[in-house]
Structure 1
């Protein structure tokens, strides 16, 4: 029995030694580390964006350059003013001087200054004060009321600081800009903002194309500079949207490309050479597209093409949808107006149009504007010799489109497209310029008298009150 117990103990001891040796010398080691902490885990964002501090743009260089090139314009006009009791008894009217102020921008070292037409309109005397407090008399070189741009000239005894033009087509929405001018006679005032919108039309007639900003602009800023962060001119501050007469967050500037073309025309030709595409139409949107039965909701729908215009000669057709002009996207009519406004007669533009579901590229040479929208009548144009000869007329304008509102009236009286208007308020009409002048000089209390030759060659006369 003792032998058996001894054998069992020896066997158990041998097994224990064998197992211990295996654990120590043969089995691979595994290390376990257990840590405890009362600290809550840190949660980090998983984006790969560097958390760097935002750097505010530096406007100091741009401001310094622009301030020295922006001037204070003073407009003195002489008016009879309101009659006093003494004037009434003496039977005389005492002339009174009225002064208006605005801003201007020097555009070359020789003293040419660009400003707004409304700043210098009806002036009897103009003076310009520079940032160095020197004052000069200014002369009007030329004006363009349509774009509200005017060009002045001063004779200085030294080269003047000036700003260079930037390409306003390249300006971006959200880009920082500075407005520099003289609001409320506070000279050399600089405000900052961003471009809020481009190709903004304030008239409702698609005839304007302003840059909209939120840089503070007030009365006196008109004619001042809108510059980018390099100090380059991208616009001429012109208007504000306000119910109080002061700035409430919206200001508007004539794009530099349009302003530059206007003053170049004035300097070279003495007047503005406006080139036109020769179409009428409207901007597409969901409602308009559904009404027309087209799928596009962006672009300009061509409703009509003026005969013998650049668009007509190039093959643009009614129903075309203009998508781009010179690779610039067109989404509203002011986009088109703004781009054409920077061009002149004879310039070539490239249109990308959608026609019957396919995209076509059409090159158009801009032509002189020979059309005018006459009140009560419609669209008229300079008549050619064959037009006049056909109706045995010696002069006049040809009616090419009747006013929709009065079309039935004219048709009921036998007046169709092709009729020739020979006189307005007894003034002989040879061109649209003659018609514009006659309409401009008509008193608001005076009836509109139109003399025309109908399609049968019969002379007729109409009076409108």
Structure 2
């Protein structure tokens, strides 16, 4: 048992004993970490790893959110143009070089989202303009490219092989402090529920703060195992709960961004839920690992492949799953036309079903300025869709989500913002895009929208 060791060994000694065999042969010294001036040290590994972690500076323009500027009388009195007022903002983050030849840099989508310019600074102080190859908000991954010589890239490890308790090191630029290194362990695996999109986070207590986003989480070999993305905090600072995107997920997204410039979501057309103890007992199962299918969409790939409601999915392409979210994540990151093998239990008997991934279709509606669109003319310039499953589960509500708002459009001037969730129209709760279209159609009069925005809510009148 390792627990009693903590009572008798200093943390540094434990680190040395635990990871002597995990390092390359040339770095091992009598079963300890490499010696630096007679003491175990991570410095030799970091000298090799840190040149691959870069600082990213972003310049973006954002609309000024001043309530006075929404008042037509105020705008006319002070002769303010009837156009959105913008201001330039700057932000910093981190990135990690994963291909030294092609100059590819992985970072977070939220680091470069809405960026006008992106500059990358290397450890040796060279600075380059970066090209955005593509980004995927659902996984919070973005791919940049720079043209530079003598780049250093990190080896990308198989993140499926890491275990809870493995030591890891986070490298990035928290609060603009370049090339900052913090250490900790892997605290948990397969974390989700921290927001929308596709999530399979590595949890770590290595200190992650604003500015670390997009940097590197490495093992003691200096291999990349994750991309720091989020923290759980009440103050905005680190409290020992940080989350990184595993490299296997990041590689899937990166490959699609390189080849297609975007990620095309796949689907098989099933609804499902996790197996809790009561469901497992009802189905005669001894374990709660897996996901039960409770709905098959008509005409879907799942129906064509012969999947049925009450099938229990145990493995996806040979990988065991413990929740329906894992099934959704794996399928959602596969390309349309690929085949996925599902190991299932049907009436207690095992079988394998192969399903060809179909395209994830989403009903969306827009407004037209001349009244010819799907919605009220004052909603022109915005794209609306049903609240995705992850958001609905997190907020415990339905509604319609504002996916896009064009700057300067009627919808923007009316006060709508991307990611707003419209809960009701004229006090009628929303359950579908079709209902929203009926209530807020092109011939509708004044609309009263109940909107949830972040942690708050407001009413908005549309005329």
For Structure 1 versus Structure 2, the TM-score category normalised by the shorter chain is 0.5 to 0.7
Report the equivalent of 1:304. Answer: 295
Could you list the per-position Cα deviations for residues 192-231 of structure 1 after superposition, in whole angstroms to 9, with x for gaps in the alignment? 2222222211247784221212211111000011122222
* 1:181 alignment partner in structure 2: 172
1:73 and 2:65 correspond: no
CA distance in 2, matches of 1:358, 1:368: 30
Instruction: Identify the residue that residue 24 of structure 1 maps to in structure 2.
Output: none
1:200 has 2:191 as partner: yes
Contact 1:451 1:462 in 2 (8 A): no
Residue 119 of structure 2 is matched in structure 1 by: 127
Partner of 2:128: 136
Q: Which residue of 1 aligns with 2:404?
A: 440
The equivalent of 2:375 in structure 1 is: 425
Q: Kindly indicate whether the alpha-carbon contact (under 8 Å) linking 2:272 and 2:294 is maintained by their aligned counterparts in 1.
A: yes
1:360 corresponds in structure 2 to 351
Structure 1 stretches of 5 or more lacking a match? 1-50, 375-421, 428-432, 454-459
Partners of 2:288 and 2:103 lie apart in 1 by 48
Kindly tell me: are residues 278 and 126 of structure 1, through their superposed partners in 2, closer, same or farther at Cα, counting changes over 3 Å? same
Change (3 A) 1:333 1:297: same
**Inter-partner Cα distance in structure 2 for 1:307 and 1:269:** 29
Backbone CA RMSD of aligned residues: 3.7
Q: Which runs of 5+ in 2 are unaligned?
A: 1-8, 20-32, 34-41, 69-73, 366-371, 378-382, 387-400, 406-410, 441-446, 450-463
Residues 56, 121 of structure 2: 8 Å contact kept: yes
Q: Please state whether the residue corresponding to 1:66 is helix, strand or coil.
A: helix
2:94 match:
103
Are the structure 2 counterparts of residues 255 and 276 from structure 1 closer, same or farther at C-alpha, using a change threshold of 3 Å?
farther
Structure 1 residues 230, 306: closer, same or farther in 2, change over 3 A? farther
CA contact (8 A) 2:139 2:198 kept: no
Residue 282 of structure 1, CA deviation:
1.0
CA contact 2:362–2:385 (8 Å) conserved in 1: no
Aligned partner (choices 208, 211, 224) of residue 202 of structure 2:
211
- How do 1:65-464 and structure 2 match up within 5 A? 65-79=48-62, 96-109=87-100, 110-156=102-148, 158-203=149-194, 207-289=198-280, 294-295=284-285, 296-371=287-362, 424-425=374-375, 440-441=404-405, 443=416, 461-463=438-440
**8 Å contact from structure 1 (residues 277, 340) kept in 2:** yes
- Map 1:50-65 to 2 at 5 A: 55-57=17-19, 58=33, 59-65=42-48
Contact 2:270–2:296 (CA under 8 A) maintained in structure 1:
yes
Q: TM-score, normalised by structure 1?
A: 0.66
TM-score (norm 2): 0.67
Query: Aligned partners of 1:90 and 1:200: how far apart in 2?
Result: 52
Larger radius of gyration between Structure 1 and Structure 2: 1
Aligned residue pairs total 354
